[in-house]
Structure 1
């Protein structure tokens, strides 16, 4: 199982966290976010995939950020349509991964994701809340037993060290969980991650029985 840390903002902190080798590192390009990124990304170890996070933004803006920051993935947190993703997919270099995010609660209908299977590489399920992401709470993961797709997905929403055991349990349900996405539970302030807390989590994550 892969590990993504999202909402990075400060160059020195990016390097500190990058030295601990997460698989993915996310940068939020939505201006309304407290973790909005508008700086320079320092050089990272090439195994770390840089992810741009967007919310209802234009294809032009997404493509511009992909080129400017040499992104390896885009994460779409808004109400982007299947046609939008299809168009975007044609314009992006083939190696760029597309992650389509869905906000989930106990009433989530997994049928709505079906049309997106052909136009993205991964789904992400995050907690439905006031914000498109980064609400800091988990959703009821038991709803994932209704997951009816073979498309691998990222699990997100308020995940911290306390959730590792539950992730281990849910990973035994033959669900195609590709990665875990962490953010707010590891912050000193929005965009600034606690390196020691992340190091402790990653050490336990790496030896977990996924």
Structure 2
């Protein structure tokens, strides 16, 4: 079953929406430059309201090791997603502490896929950019041999095509789930249904 990740949650109602729809993962954005930024402290409060079967993920961009670990220790997240230029050593250190890591790769060329394939992260995410909301050239993925999350412009309209064509481990959406910059339950529902229906038809 293709996993569903919904990213950029930051309000109590967002968590309520997620609890009703049951994605596999939700994401909090801890990058201060993002319009979806929330503090780890606020995320910890939201996670207390989150269904125990849904994994909360913290999205970081070139954050300090200390701050990443602190977000996990305070109970805000159970998994971290690194969207900057974090090194393999950085990933390895987090893993050595028992913290599962998703490493994001912006896919521009086949070399980016090769880097993703060789990453020591528990999981990799293939994206078009930092929240650009646009797809990248899926043909670049080629015959990648490890499971990956597919991000970057995945919507209710193209999720089925992505699942049929690429068979990703999971799909990750954020901007397409919003109206006027905030999560929209109808759009979240449409996305979840599109992924699950595509899976049934595959």
Q: What TM-score does the superposition give when structure 1 sets the normalisation length? A: 0.85
- State the shift of 1:165 in Å: 3.1
Aligned pairs (5 A) from 1:23-172: 23-38=24-39, 39=42, 40-41=45-46, 42-91=48-97, 93=98, 96-105=99-108, 107-109=109-111, 110-116=113-119, 119-128=120-129, 133-147=130-144, 150-171=145-166
Q: Count residues in correspondence.
A: 193
CA contact (8 A) 1:82 1:115 kept: no
Q: Counterpart in 1 of 2:169? A: 178
Question: By percentage of residues, which structure has more helix?
Answer: 2
1:187 is aligned, of 174, 178, 196, to 178
Moved over 2 A (4+): 110-115
Structure 2: which 5+ runs fail to align? none
SS at match of 2:51: coil
Considering only aligned residues, what root-mean-square deviation do their CA atoms show, in Å?
Answer: 1.6
Structure 1 residue 21 corresponds to structure 2 residue 34 = no
- State the shift of 1:205 in Å: 1.6
- State the shift of 1:146 in Å: 4.7
